[in-house]
Amino acid sequence: MPMNHDMHDLFDRETWLLLAEIFEIYARGYRARGDERAASIAHRLAETTDHVPAQLMHQVQDLWKVTYPDGQSLAEVIGDEMMKSLAFGYSPDNATSFVLEFVRRGMGARAQ
């Protein structure tokens, strides 16, 4: 899928590529465990990563800066939880929907 550079005004292309790579890592993991449904969802998210608006990606980057006292990233915890939930029925339409939910959860956790 060609890169839509108009959406990438706040960051270079690597931010979107990294997100797509994370989705594909989970897709391969699910496929290796025989969960084709979750693998297909993760792959669909990877394919639509390029459409995530730059402002949302900026909010994601901000969440990566928040860490727990044990040094674990808030974003890592939330992202891992969301990706694991693909195996239990969570099925966002696309990467933008996933990122919107990620930001919503992250902002809620920061407010606590």
Please report whether residue 83 resides in a domain.
Answer: yes
Please report whether residue 6 resides in a domain.
Answer: no
Mean pLDDT of 61-86: 87
Please count the structural domains in the chain: 1
Please report whether residue 5 resides in a domain.
Answer: no
pTM > 0.95: no
Phi, psi dihedral angles at 3 (to 5 degrees): -75, 130
Please report whether residue 1 resides in a domain.
Answer: no
Please report whether residue 3 resides in a domain.
Answer: no
Please report whether residue 54 resides in a domain.
Answer: yes
Q: How far is CA 80 from CA 3, 4, 44, 112, in A?
A: 26, 27, 17, 20
Please report whether residue 101 resides in a domain.
Answer: yes
Parent domain of 40: 12-111
Q: What is the rounded distance in angstroms from the CA atom of residue 5 to the CA atom of residue 71?
A: 34
Residue 5: band (very low, low, confident or very high) from pLDDT cuts 50, 70, 90? very low
**Which pLDDT does position 11 carry in this prediction?**
56
Q: Which amino acid is at 47?
A: E
**Cα-to-chain-centroid distance, residue 18:** 9
